[in-house]
Structure 1
């Protein structure tokens, strides 16, 4: 999810990023999120106050890799980490960022921004934190598909904060946080790897936090700081801001940290490693989803499916669009039918998402084909045809124009609507036409001008 985090940071105004750069932990996290070439350029400028010439930048890259150089410079510029001085043909790094990053790399002043470790011996172990994060995270994923199959494992329900986040982010929908069903965005979320899933939820959390008036810089600083802490150690919680106190509770609901309510200490879990690293494979492998990243599905052309997995999460996902018939210790047998995929379509899941899931999790034997196609065309085409059965009628919001006095008046206005791309339907014999909702105001203004002229 590195790209998603960078895109979010690039969308922030320069003033907000400048405040963010005042935190050494945030600067170190941002450095880790950059591409290797962008890191090289930035580190080359961090320990010098003088501008760097463009010739110096060109010397670091071979001519055949100029496109990578341009991309790296563009990323740094969009993040306001550098500024180009065209007159002198030089590049200068952001001074605030350089100061904070030097502090982070050399353990200089304000190093407490990386958290204050508790002096006494930690009361939690790595095994406990690993199991705690796994249970918390999988309870969220299982809840998203809980209505489809009885879960063999006894997992506690997600916390109220996590349920609200699932609903507010659009991953689930329903009348209340306790009566939710998965959406199309939620199914797409389940297709992602665990590392991407964690950052997807956190990005939704950032958007929601800014809407309710929380300082997004304060939120980002704390999230980046968590990714820089040592897993297995406990840190003091009494000296953080009120906003960060609430964040502490919210991210604990996701399993990123272990924090007992009213406690003055917290401990990052293996999931926190994902926050500032390009890959968190170690953390991902501890989850049920992470253990099932390899292909395990064999699908025959008669739509009979064999899934070689013991993951209850993956079995729940399969049951969203497949009729499961038998379950063994490491094998599930089922069949994809018209009724089973229609059930998925009614939940907002699309045919392309089902095909993508089957393709991503296909067994290695299904990939050994001469045609290069993992799924047989008869399967993918039939799933798409089943969706088209539900898409025969498409509703669009708009406005109907009728009762024109003359054919000239009708032709004048309908031609205008057609020229501006607002026309969705017309019937010349009955002098009626339909325009979309967004363009109706312009059509109405045109009608009023013609009637008054």
Structure 2
């Protein structure tokens, strides 16, 4: 079965793919510079700090000496990442020796940021204007409800509460890789879509953001403006109110889309309207790093393949249905079983055994999180075995050769096919062999030359 993997955490790869001029435009904002800095591996961050007040180019050979030989590979990864995002610019002297110089805009803005801190282009509205604002708990519940509603739309639109609709731009984002549809049929989850649902929230969020930005030009929006606004949004204060009048037209449209995802909450006052960033929005830049935010798990798996999820969420129930048989649902408990049939259905949809096991481990209930292993070993082994059962036979187009005039010619043909890596099977007693179909023409030419 082909493995289709959703790449979720390469948002900065998309930023790096921007033209040099647009990338430099992003670095006009100190907040963008900090967000980019946060995304770097530790060694790259160290190089940025070391070079921050160095104005002349630093020879590549000299930088190589900053690390021990056993860390040469990490050094290369760090330098490559810095060059990709144009934080470092490669320069060559007359002798064609390579040196690295920090991007002037990035360097200047980071120096200012370290000395005086950053200043957002908008200030929070005073309480006298907004009145009572949602508490952080209320805001987090709102964000969770919106995000779950968004994901439920992916799984099954009938599960979404009536009155909930998504904008055309969001639906286009759905269609880009997560949903597939045929003529006259309703859109269904693609293999990428099924895998997407098993990701952690931060990874899901950045995947959606990446696709949303990728489709910006189709909506007549400059992707650079969206990237800048999204990263800037992550530095706003969670729970504070910011006036919509401070936004550009592009940002206003983006805010409406982000509201559907639960990144912001919109409120209307007597004279002014404002948006309130939720935890999802303020976590945007921190989501760039590989460290995942910890969350309390809900799943307990027993050695008899029974599965218990302590949750009242419709979303959790639907996700568990992707690879298990949900038997009944109580107000705060979902009971199911991992069966061969349910797993085969998951494998048919492109979900792998490792993704299922990883999901069960990442979402383990606190009572079992400290156990070793978290998921019973007999369960994980059986999940892998059932996946292997489906992959035991591989269909390969091939050709069979028989009725050789002599033993010598048969052996010569076997040797020729074996040397080229196309021999699939041979029977020396009956002088028969099977080769890959790609090698058929070559084998015919070889036989013709032997006659």
Normalising by structure 2, report the TM-score. 0.70
Partner of 1:8: 14
Distance in 1, matches of 2:31 and 2:81, equals: 20
3-state DSSP of counterpart to 1:189: helix
Distance in 1, matches of 2:89 and 2:174, equals: 39
- Is the aligned partner of 1:132 residue 2:142? yes
Check the 8 A contact 1:122/1:234 in 2, yes or no.
Answer: no
Unaligned runs of 5+ in 2: 1-6, 400-404, 406-414, 426-430, 446-451
Partner of 2:80: 74
Distance in 1, matches of 2:185 and 2:110, equals: 44
Residue of 158, 162, 172 corresponding to 1:164: 172
Partner of 2:181: 174
Matches within 5 A, 1:22-61: 22-52=28-58
Residue of 186, 190, 203 corresponding to 2:193: 186
Unaligned runs of 5+ in 1: 285-289, 402-406, 408-414, 448-453
1:283-333 deviations in Å (ceiling 9; x for gaps): 97xxxxx7xx44443333432223344444322211222222233444332
Distance in 1, matches of 2:282 and 2:182, equals: 35
Distance in 2, matches of 1:83 and 1:250, equals: 36
**What RMSD over aligned residues (CA atoms) do the two structures have, in Å?**
5.2
1:125-154 deviations in Å (ceiling 9; x for gaps): 24364443232212112333347x968x88
Check the 8 A contact 1:184/1:350 in 2, yes or no.
Answer: no
Normalising by structure 1, report the TM-score. 0.70
Going from structure 1 to structure 2, the CA distance change for 1:421 and 1:268 (only over 3 Å counts) comes to: farther
Q: Give the CA deviation at 1:94.
A: 0.8
Name whichever of 351-360 and 44-53 sits farther off: 44-53
Name whichever of 83-92 and 4-13 sits farther off: 83-92
Residue of 295, 304, 307 corresponding to 1:305: 307
Residue of 176, 183, 198 corresponding to 2:205: 198
- Is the aligned partner of 1:207 residue 2:214? yes
3-state DSSP of counterpart to 1:275: coil
1:322-348 deviations in Å (ceiling 9; x for gaps): 222233444332222233233334444
- Is the aligned partner of 1:275 residue 2:281? no
Going from structure 1 to structure 2, the CA distance change for 1:66 and 1:264 (only over 3 Å counts) comes to: same
Check the 8 A contact 1:46/1:93 in 2, yes or no.
Answer: yes
Distance in 1, matches of 2:289 and 2:252, equals: 26
Check the 8 A contact 1:2/1:278 in 2, yes or no.
Answer: no
Partner of 1:233: 241
Check the 8 A contact 2:150/2:260 in 1, yes or no.
Answer: no
Going from structure 1 to structure 2, the CA distance change for 1:177 and 1:3 (only over 3 Å counts) comes to: farther
Check the 8 A contact 1:139/1:155 in 2, yes or no.
Answer: no
Going from structure 1 to structure 2, the CA distance change for 1:23 and 1:435 (only over 3 Å counts) comes to: farther
Partner of 1:97: 106
Check the 8 A contact 2:198/2:356 in 1, yes or no.
Answer: no
Distance in 2, matches of 1:102 and 1:96, equals: 10
1:199-236 deviations in Å (ceiling 9; x for gaps): 11111222222466642222211212212223313134
